[in-house]
Every structure is written in structure tokens, then in C-alpha cells.
């Protein structure tokens, strides 16, 4: 069986704006896949192509083995979507919207709906115009999570949720994972991605710049090392070691950054000069993203 989402070389322009410029993305069955990138990178555009709302200009996009543009009705029975900007009908109640969306998809799990309403602490009798931003978000989340969809597409689903509700959301995504369903999660909240995702893809300006598990991505970055040495060598000697960068020598104190793959060799080289104190810091996820977003 093919992967739920397979995208290669996807292109999409709006007039002269190039939104997707040869994007690649593969999401495997049963994984929670983080989808990251700076503002305007093309995350929402990608998701909207997958939903058949936008027609791609070029490249390949396969959703659950089908064509997202032509096989709409059949594919959409198997997916659920939470948009980044949840716009609801102002004169319908939250409960009506949840039921409507479920019926349009082809069925509702009533017990799960009621459970979700309780856990998200959402009053379904309010008109949508009277909901706060976070509560509108919850309506869309309850509608998506109460379905039995095998693939869930979330575009910044927790923007606007309070920490308590964010927690409820994470618990539900964990449940989805144990049920073997698949999630594509676009998010700017790094802690959320770190806590939930099995793999992540980082895109910039419509192209994929990194893709892999968090552990794999960490290996692409550098560990910072600060040490006090008994017999400090010259800065040039240290800089000559493979995988060492940004050496600063201040008396007996040395700071440097080392490629995570070479950290063992660097530490033993330092050991030869008599380590008195040592602080070694693995890269934070934030540094990882900053590096991918900026360069």
C-alpha cells in the first residue's frame, strides 16, 4: 500500500507569486508528521492542494492513493480537516456545524462527539458568531476528531487554544496514533511538534529543506561546547580538528561548536589537554528550526 500522502515536485503559483516551488513531502501510514516553515512558506497552500481546493500547476500529489483533484468525494470520506483560520456560519450553532460537517462527510460517531464536547468544554448551543476564537477552533477540532477519518489534516490547529485545551488536543492526537491513523500537523508551536510528531518536514519558500525524524535532524546540527583546559592548545590547532567551528580561546577557557556527528572525537581531543570543567549543550529544537528557517 502506498503512503497516505506522497508529493513530489509540487508547483503552484498565484499570478506572479510562486507559492510552491517543487515541494516534496511523504507522510507514512500511522505517523504524526510535523509540517513546519516560516510564514508564507506554502504550508496552507500544500494542504489546500491536497484537499482539491487548489489545482496544482505541476508535480505529483497523491492522497490515500488517489488524485486529490479528481477523486474528491471518494477521498474526502476518509479524511478530516481543520483549517488555520476557522470561519464558521455566524447564524448556526456550534452543534449544528459539527453535525452538518459530519453528515456531509458521511457519518457521525455520536458517542465520540459528546465525549469530545465534554472534554473540550464546549457549549454546542451557542451561535458561532458568539464564540471566542479558541472556541471556534474547538468546534472545528471536535468536528474533525469525532470522525473516523483515516487521515487528519491540521493547519495550525491549536493557535488560540489555552494550555489546558492544548493538552486535551495532544491526548487526542496520541489516541489517533494508537489507533494507527495518520496526521499531517502544520504548526508554529515547536514544543507541540516535539511532543507529538514522529517525523517532521521543514519547508521554506515553497521547497522542502529538511525532512526526517527529530533525532535525524538533530544530527544535522552542532553541539556547543565550553571547557576550561589545563594546557590549552592554540586556537588554530583546535580549529583544524574535523567538525569543529567557531573556536574562541580566552586564556584557559575555550568555546567551540562541533558537528553532532563528530562530538566524540572532539571531546577526546580536548581530553588530551586536561579538562577541568566542561559544559556540552545539544542543539535545541529551536536552534534547529532557526537554522532551517533563516539560511
Ligand X SMILES: Nc1ncnc2c1ncn2[C@@H]1O[C@H](COP(=O)(O)OP(=O)(O)OP(=O)(O)O)[C@@H](O)[C@H]1O
Q: Which residues of the chain form contacts with another protein (CB under 8 A)? A: 48, 51-55, 72-74, 76-77, 79-81, 83, 85-90, 92-93, 95-101, 103-106, 124-127, 129-130, 140, 153
Pick from ligand X, Mg ion, another protein, none: which does 77 bind, CB < 5 to 8 A by kind? another protein
Between residues 81 and 120, which has the closer beta carbon with respect to ligand X? 81
Alpha helices in 128-245 (DSSP H): 133-145, 163-178, 190-196, 214-219, 235-239
Whichever of 4 and 42 has its CB closer to ligand X, that residue is 42
- The answer to whether residue 187 forms part of the interface with Mg ion (CB under 5 A) is no
36 binds, among ligand X, another protein, Mg ion, none (CB under 5 to 8 A by kind): none
Q: Which residue number, 58 or 106, has a Cβ lying nearer to another protein?
A: 106
- Residue closer to another protein by CB (options 122, 200) is 122
Q: Is 144 exposed, middle or buried (0-12, 13-18, 19+ CB in 10 A)?
A: buried
Residues 40-79 that bind Mg ion (CB under 5 A): 44
Evaluate whether 230 touches 189 at the Cβ level (below 8 Å). no
232 binds, among Mg ion, another protein, ligand X, none (CB under 5 to 8 A by kind): none
Q: Which does 83 bind (CB under 5 to 8 A by kind): another protein, Mg ion, ligand X, none?
A: another protein
Contact 145, 105 (CB under 8 A): no
Among 16, 39, 125, 295, binds ligand X (CB under 6 A): 39
Q: Which does 42 bind (CB under 5 to 8 A by kind): ligand X, another protein, Mg ion, none?
A: ligand X
Sheet holding 253-259, edge to edge: 244-250, 253-259, 222-229, 275-281
Torsion angle, alpha carbons of 89, 94, 96, 99, to 10: 110
Nearest distance in Å: CB 7, ligand X: 14
Q: Which partner from the list Mg ion, ligand X, another protein, none does 140 bind, CB cut-off 5 to 8 Å by kind?
A: another protein
- Assess 85 for contact with ligand X (CB under 6 A): no
Please give the Cα distance from 236 to 166 (Å, whole number): 49
| 19 lines the binding site for ligand X (CB under 6 A) | yes
**Min dist. Cβ of residue 201 to another protein (A):** 21
C-alpha cell at 23: 515541494
Figure out which of the listed residues 4, 34, 42, 157 binds ligand X, where binding follows CB under 6 A. Answer: 42
The residue among 71, 70, 16, 24 whose CA lies nearest residue 46 is 24
**CB contact set of 70 (below 8 Å; sequence gap of 6+):** none
Q: Classify residue 285 by burial, with Cβ atoms within 10 Å: 0-12, 13-18, 19+.
A: middle
Residue 41 is a binding residue for ligand X (CB under 6 A): yes
Residue 105 binds: one of ligand X, another protein, Mg ion, none (C-beta under 5 to 8 A by kind): another protein
Among 43, 62, 105, 181, binds ligand X (CB under 6 A): 43
Q: Where are the alpha helices (DSSP H) in 51-83?
A: 72-76
d(CA 283, CA 275): 22
Quick one: the chain helix, strand, coil %, rounded to 5? Answer: 35, 30, 35
Q: Which residues bind Mg ion (CB under 5 A)?
A: 44, 84
Q: Which residues bind ligand X (CB under 6 A)?
A: 14, 17, 19, 37, 39-45, 84
Amino acid at each position: 500500500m502506498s503512503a497516505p500522502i506522497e508529493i513530489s515536485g509540487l508547483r503552484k503559483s498565484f499570478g506572479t507569486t510562486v507559492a510552491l516551488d517543487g515541494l516534496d513531502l511523504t507522510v507514512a501510514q500511522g505517523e504524526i508528521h510535523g509540517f513546519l516553515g516560516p510564514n508564507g512558506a506554502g504550508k496552507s497552500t500544500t494542504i489546500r492542494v491536497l484537499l482539491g481546493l487548489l489545482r496544482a500547476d505541476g508535480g505529483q500529489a497523491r492522497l490515500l492513493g488517489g488524485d486529490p483533484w479528481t477523486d474528491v468525494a471518494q477521498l474526502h470520506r476518509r479524511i478530516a480537516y481543520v483549517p488555520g483560520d476557522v470561519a464558521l456560519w455566524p447564524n448556526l450553532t456550534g452543534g449544528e456545524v459539527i453535525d452538518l460537517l459530519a453528515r456531509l462527510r458521511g457519518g457521525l460517531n455520536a458517542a465520540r462527539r459528546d465525549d469530545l464536547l465534554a472534554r473540550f468544554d464546549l457549549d454546542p448551543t451557542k451561535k458561532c458568531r458568539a464564540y471566542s476564537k479558541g472556541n471556534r477552533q474547538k468546534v472545528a477540532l471536535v468536528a474533525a476528531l469525532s470522525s473516523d477519518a483515516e487521515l487528519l489534516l491540521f493547519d495550525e490547529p491549536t493557535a488560540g487554544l489555552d494550555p489546558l485545551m492544548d493538552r486535551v488536543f495532544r491526548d487526542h492526537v496520541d489516541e489517533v496514533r494508537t489507533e494507527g491513523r495518520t496526521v499531517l500537523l502544520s504548526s508554529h508551536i515547536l514544543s507541540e511538534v516535539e511532543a507529538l510528531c514522529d517525523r517532521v518536514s521543514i519547508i521554506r519558500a515553497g521547497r522542502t529543506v529538511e525532512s526526517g525524524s527529530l533525532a535525524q535532524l538533530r544530527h544535522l546540527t552542532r553541539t556547543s561546547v565550553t571547557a576550561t583546559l589545563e594546557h590549552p592548545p592554540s586556537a588554530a590547532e583546535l580549529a583544524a580538528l574535523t567538525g569543529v567551528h567557531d573556536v574562541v580561546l580566552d586564556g584557559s577557557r575555550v568555546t567551540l561548536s562541533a558537528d553532532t556527528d563528530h562530538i566524540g572525537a572532539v571531546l577526546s581531543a580536548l581530553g588530551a589537554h586536561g579538562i577541568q570543567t566542561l559544559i556540552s549543550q545539544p542543539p535545541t529544537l529551536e536552534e534547529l528550526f532557526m537554522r532551517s528557517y533563516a539560511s
